[in-house]
Amino acid sequence: MSDDQEAQEDELLALASIYDEKEFCRAESTQGGEIQACVELPKDFKIYVKGDKHPQYSVCFLPPLVLNFELPPDYPSSSAPVFTLSSKWLSRVQLTALCKHLDELWQENQGSVVLFSWIQFLKEDVLNFLSIQSPMEVATAIPERKKGEATVMREAVTERGKKELLDPRAIVEVDPRADILPQLLDFDEAQQQKVFESKVFSCGICFTEKLGSGCLCFKECGHVYCKACMSEYFQIQIRDGNVQCLNCPEPNCKSVATPSQVKLLVDEELFARYDRLLLQSSLDLMADVVYCPRKMCHTAVMVEPDSTMGICPACQYAFCTLCKRAYHGLSACQATAEELRGMRDEYMSASDDMKKFLEKRYGKQVIQRAVEESFSRDWLDENCKACPRCGTNIQKIDGCNKMTCTSCKQYFCWLCLSLLSRGNPYSHFNNASSPCYNQLFQGVDDDDDAFWSDEEDL
């Protein structure tokens, strides 16, 4: 084994021992891998969207910067690692600056391994390097361009008025026309939930100490109880038909458990009873109050009569009151695969009022197709593609054409189904000889000429 090979192997083994599998994943077939670097945010860090009614949102976590790399045979003695750097919240201009600084770090340490230094920079110094301070402005979705306009803007104008080529290694993983703010807030919620699950709490009922993963926290009041106690409490209340009274056990506390919390602690049969009684009582009372569907919020929202749009007064999230997803105007609600599987039986056995409700929620044509086809193989063939590695059916809702199989975690191209390297998955779209060159976002919508422009990033 050469000195370079030995240094590479030692570095990869060291990274695997320092970081867990979510932070560092070594490639199977090449000397390379993927690093997910979570940027360390200062306390009380906030983000905002220019012109948004809600001024600022506090976040503790942002999606990681993803560094995919391959180590050349003569690394570290002569050549630097080949890499791409991708992000869901930085612009290509900012990512280009980071790529250049990684090159500079290599030049300073040429002849020595550099991956650990890169990771430390991406985790600890990115905000200072890019002069990002709280509150940080989050870019809004870029409007679709008309046909005939440029599909890709390869140059961006810097603050000094000079033109600077964008680095092809800088990858923005989100469609610029998508609203990134909800994605950032949802990621932050998920990470905060993981932090809660790792802490120890004392149950206010049985007074035993348990990890947060074994506890339930009422969102409005913050009172914490173990899941065992709350599961028994919920079961008794639901069997007695008191689905509107799943309150926090703390005396005089009016906080109520959310449906998602109830679903975690009771079996399917009991939750179906809870869901049915809750829906029926809501229809009977003609309720004009719904709850914000965001997991870390669940604030009560007043809804206008005959309107399907709710706007949370706390987090300003605009959502559809029928499907609880982001508000989609007059378009029918999009059903998930799981919802579609159960829609036929639910519709066939429903009352006339419930059938009208389902038709309003999903659209009459969607219901008819579900009933007629019974979600046969034709639906899978039309909407899904098989993972080229394990054959799992994959449905693409939105996003770029670099897909990740939900079963085997293999990267592959949605357009041609080629397997992509974990060390450098974007080379398939950056290589001029590739059939999918410059088609990372090809087919996102019907307008193939509409693409991103980094002009708006400045």
Per-residue pLDDT tens digits for 357-414:
777 767 777 777 666 655 565 567 778 899 999 988 898 887 889 999 988 889 999 9
Residue 32's pLDDT is 92
Residue 331's pLDDT is 78
25 or 442: whose pLDDT is higher? 25
Residue 450's pLDDT is 41
Active-site residue identified among 99, 203, 297, 400: 400
Place of tokens 């449905």: 395
Identify the band that residue 126 occupies on the pLDDT scale cut at 50, 70 and 90: very high
- Of 173, 95, 179, the residue nearest 401 (C-alpha): 173
| pLDDT over 80 (residue 111) | yes
Residue 78's pLDDT is 92
Spell out the long-range contacts of 40-44 with Cβ–Cβ below 8 A and sequence spacing 24 or more. 40/123, 40/124, 41/127, 42/127, 42/134, 44/134
Parse the chain into domains and list their residue ranges: 3-178, 184-267, 380-455
297 is catalytic: no
Distance CA 137, CA 439 (A): 28
Residue 455's pLDDT is 42
Residue 289's pLDDT is 73
**Phi/psi of residue 327, nearest 5 degrees:** -60, 135
What's 3-178's CATH class? alpha beta
Question: Per-residue pLDDT tens for 148-184?
Answer: 444 444 344 444 444 458 999 999 987 767 788 888 9
| pLDDT over 80 (residue 288) | no
Place of tokens 């506390």: 253
Contact 69, 81 (CB under 8 A): yes
296 or 200: whose pLDDT is higher? 200
The sign of the dihedral angle between the CA atoms of 145, 169, 403, 421 is: positive
How large is the average pLDDT for residues 275-294? Answer: 71
How large is the average pLDDT for residues 17-40? Answer: 91
Tokens of 7: 């240094």
From first CA to last CA, the distance across the chain in angstroms is 48
Residue 72's pLDDT is 94
Tokens of 208: 């035993």
146 or 391: whose pLDDT is higher? 391
| Count of all residues that appear for the chain in the document | 458
Can you point out the beta strands (E) in 254-406? 289-291, 300-302, 309-311, 318-320, 384-386, 393-395, 402-404
Question: Per-residue pLDDT tens for 188-237?
Answer: 989 988 999 999 999 989 999 999 999 999 988 889 999 999 999 999 98
Contact 395, 383 (CB under 8 A): yes
How large is the average pLDDT for residues 47-57? Answer: 80
Contact 56, 46 (CB under 8 A): yes
> What superfamily in CATH does domain 184-267 come from?
Zinc/RING finger domain, C3HC4 (zinc finger) (3.30.40.10)
Question: Per-residue pLDDT tens for 304-340?
Answer: 877 888 999 989 999 988 778 888 887 777 766 566 6
Angle between helices 352-362 and 364-373 (to 10 degrees): 110
> Strand 82-87 vs strand 170-172: parallel, antiparallel, or unpaired?
parallel
